[in-house]
Amino acid sequence: MHIKIGTRGSRLALWQAYYVENILQKGGLTTEIVLIDTKGDQILDRSLSKIGSKGVFTQELEDQLRDGRIDIAVHSAKDLQSELDDDLQLIAFTERERVNDVLVSHNQRLSLGSGETFVVGTSSTRRVAMLKHFYPHIRTVDMRGNLQTRLRKLEEGQCDAILLAFAGVHRMEYDGLIAEHLSLDEFTPAVGQGSVAIECSQQLDEEKRTQLRALLNHADTETCLLAERAFLRRLQGGCSVPVFGLAGLENDTVTLKGGVVRLDGSQILKQTQSGPASAPENIGIQLAETLLSQGAAEILAAIKQNL
């Protein structure tokens, strides 16, 4: 069986594609990697929340899934919109990496909690809003571009530090630049952070789909991501709104913590919902509805007006 793997060309995207390729080859399949450029890779002078339309990192890959030029598309689960078109499907989520965010800097003594004022580069509305909420003395500058670009901007002194997902920093082997691991209670990650999602067309050969899922899917990760993604979908949040959510699985019970933060950091709404692992999406929906009834709708409406 031969699998054509579509991926973006950034270094992190390539890491993910090689990771998937390696698992498939060990499972006895042959593979090839197809590089695909997306709008999100091309437009670098505007923040993601301003490019706005969904699928900035996925549209071109999905076009190629549909016409069969590739069999699967490999994505950071976090970058995927919460709702896919009906003719597409996520067939696997790979085992999750550590999910926390990290502060990355050449100055290893930097710490958000030290009280010292410094400049942090990030383009994530979630990270900016959380910094404003928990560490109002920290200044932020907008910093777009893939990981390589952001690290170069750090190098050039455009900021003192950047906030990133541990997963990406580790995969690119920049662990040595991690000044601080941030707590999951404060910097609860974006939905899907740390897992790689495999997308295919509903038209893909049944035998291929079964084999791909058997080799690539990590059942516990999938259960957690289904809960998180149902949560995001119910809130109608894309990757550009400051919604966060993290599910954990223990003894067949999923516990999902999630919420939303106002862009100016003045308010965080956060709740926890548990339920049986057999119906993870219900847990996500319930958590979203609890939050909506407690004011999340108003916060989200204000955010959408602002972006």
CB 160 within 8 A of CB 105: yes
79 labelled catalytic: yes
- Which amino acid, 212? L
Span from 18-26, 163-171, 256-264, 271-279 in contact with ligand PBG (CB under 6 A): 163-171
Closest separation between CB of residue 214 and ligand PBG, Å? Answer: 22
Distance set, CA 181 to CA 163, 166, 185, 194 (Å): 10, 8, 12, 15
Closest separation between CB of residue 40 and ligand PBG, Å? Answer: 9
The closest residue (CB) to ligand PBG is 168
Please give the size of the binding site for ligand PBG, defined by CB under 6 A. Answer: 10
x/- mask, ligand PBG, residues 177-206, rule CB under 6 A, reads ----------------xx------------
Closest separation between CB of residue 150 and ligand PBG, Å? Answer: 8
Give DSSP secondary structure letters for 5-24. EEE--SHHHHHHHHHHHHHH
Give the nearer residue to ligand PBG in terms of CB position, either 78 or 257: 78
Span from 65-73, 80-88, 165-173, 284-292 in contact with ligand PBG (CB under 6 A): 165-173
Other beta carbons less than 10 A from residue 301's beta carbon: 10
List phi, psi (to 5°) of 152.
-65, -40
CB 73 within 8 A of CB 57: no
Give the nearer residue to ligand PBG in terms of CB position, either 196 or 256: 196
CB 119 within 8 A of CB 159: yes
DSSP, collapsed to helix, strand or coil, labels residue 140 as strand
Interaction between residue 168 and ligand PBG (CB under 6 A): yes
Give the nearer residue to ligand PBG in terms of CB position, either 77 or 204: 77
Closest separation between CB of residue 203 and ligand PBG, Å? Answer: 27
The rounded Cα 131 to chain-centroid distance in angstroms is 18
DSSP, collapsed to helix, strand or coil, labels residue 109 as coil
Interaction between residue 165 and ligand PBG (CB under 6 A): yes
Catalytic one of 45, 67, 79, 87: 79
Residue from 72, 80, 167, 200 that binds ligand PBG (CB under 6 A)?
167
Closest separation between CB of residue 294 and ligand PBG, Å? Answer: 27
Closest separation between CB of residue 306 and ligand PBG, Å? Answer: 20
- 65-104 residues near ligand PBG, rule: CB under 6 A: 76, 78-79
Give the nearer residue to ligand PBG in terms of CB position, either 138 or 147: 147
Give the nearer residue to ligand PBG in terms of CB position, either 166 or 209: 166
Q: Identify the CA nearest to 147 among candidates 18, 46, 10, 254.
A: 10
How far apart are alpha carbons 235 and 12 in whole angstroms?
Answer: 28
Interaction between residue 125 and ligand PBG (CB under 6 A): no
- For 225, the token pair is 């991501």
What residues does 120 pair with on adjacent strands? 140, 161
Residues whose CB falls within 8 Å of the CB of residue 144, separated by 6 or more in sequence, listed in order: 44, 45, 46, 47, 48, 123, 150
CB 296 within 8 A of CB 267: no
The binding site for ligand PBG (CB under 6 A) comprises 76, 78-79, 147, 164-165, 167-168, 193-194
Catalytically annotated residues: 79
